[in-house]
Amino acid sequence: MKPKFKRHFRIYLVNNHPAYIVDEEGNQYLFHRVTESKSSGGRLNWKVPGENPIEGYICDCYIVKREEKRPKSKFSKFRIKTKRHVNIEYPWIKKANKKWPNGHIRDEGGAQLNGVTISPSPAGN
């Protein structure tokens, strides 16, 4: 039986910033970009509860809601070290299940944060 995929952080070599790896499909990773900003592209990001999980970072950590898929070659070969006492298996970030024709992924299920379902905004907002 294949072991469950363990979520982790790696450097996304395109912009040299951390990325939160959610899953892998063949030779590609499904990931969310990691930022210090409350919003990206006019949309609010998810705030990581507690302190920043990445070792050596003290600023607030936000995860961009848009899930992307890129080849493994676009990421660092090694995982980023995380603080030992911080759990990075965020259950409120679910793997998207719908795909756009151009390969981008769309999440229609919404996420859960503190037991409350956060629905995706209607198209055009």
Query: Quick check: is 100 in a domain?
Result: no
121 occurs within a structural domain: no
Output the six-digit token pair for 107.
Answer: 């999440």
What is the reported pTM? 0.74
Closest CA to 102 of 71, 69, 64, 125: 69
Asked, for residue 108, whether it belongs to a domain, the answer is: no
Helix spans in 10-121 (H): none
Q: Is residue 73 a part of any domain in this protein?
A: yes
Number of separate domains in the chain? 1
Statement: residue 1 has pLDDT above 80:
no
- For residue 119, is it within any domain? no
Q: How far apart are CA 38 and CA 61, in angstroms?
A: 9
Residue range of the domain that includes 18:
8-82
Residue 110 lies in a domain: no
Q: Which pLDDT belongs to residue 62?
A: 95
* Residue 107: Cβ within 10 Å count: 16
Determine, yes or no, domain membership for 125.
no
Phi first, then psi: give them for residue 72, nearest 5 degrees. Answer: -60, -25
Query: In whole angstroms, what is the distance from residue 37 CA to residue 33 CA?
Result: 11
pLDDT, residue 45, reads 94
60 belongs to a structural domain? yes
